[in-house]
Amino acid sequence: MASWAVMTEQVVWISPRATGFTVVCERCAELGETFPSVHATLSLDHIRSTVDCPRGHQIRVERDGR
Ligand SMILES: [Zn+2]
């Protein structure tokens, strides 16, 4: 496994069959945003993606399961 040296990286896990989901941006939450979530979609063909929140923070999305 790679070592996660980048402290700011955010990773969220979604369920195996999720194609649309809402993730909370922890960075925005730390900044006091009242609505820090961002909606994203990921087709079932993909096991990972990245999402940028409205403030430009990158959130990595990983599909759970196999
Ligand atoms: Zn953010």
Percent of the chain topping pLDDT 70: 86
The residue assigned the tokens 């960075």 is: 27
* Residue-by-residue DSSP string for 21-45: EEEE-HHHHHTT-SS-EEEEE--TT
Q: Which two tokens stand for residue 37?
A: 């979530």
Instruction: Kindly state whether residue 5 falls inside one of the protein's structural domains.
Output: no
From ligand 1's centre to the CA of 66, what distance in Å?
A: 28
pLDDT interval class at 21 (50, 70, 90): very high
Task: Assess if residue 4 is contained within a domain.
Answer: no
- Does residue 1 lie in a domain region? no
Distance 3 CA to ligand 1 centre (A): 23
**What CA–CA distances, in Å, run from 61 to 27, 32, 41?**
15, 22, 10
Question: Ligand 1 center to residue 26 CA distance, Å?
Answer: 7
Asked whether residue 2 is assigned to any structural domain, the reply reads: no
Distance 44 CA to ligand 1 centre (A): 25
pLDDT, tens digit, for every residue of 45-66? 999 999 999 999 999 999 998 6
Q: How far is the CA of 40 from the centre of ligand 1 (A)?
A: 13
pLDDT, mean of residues 23-39: 94
What does the pLDDT look like over 40-50, one tens digit per residue?
Answer: 999 999 999 99
Residue 46: which domain range? 10-63
Res 4 pLDDT > 70: no
Domain tally for the chain? Answer: 1
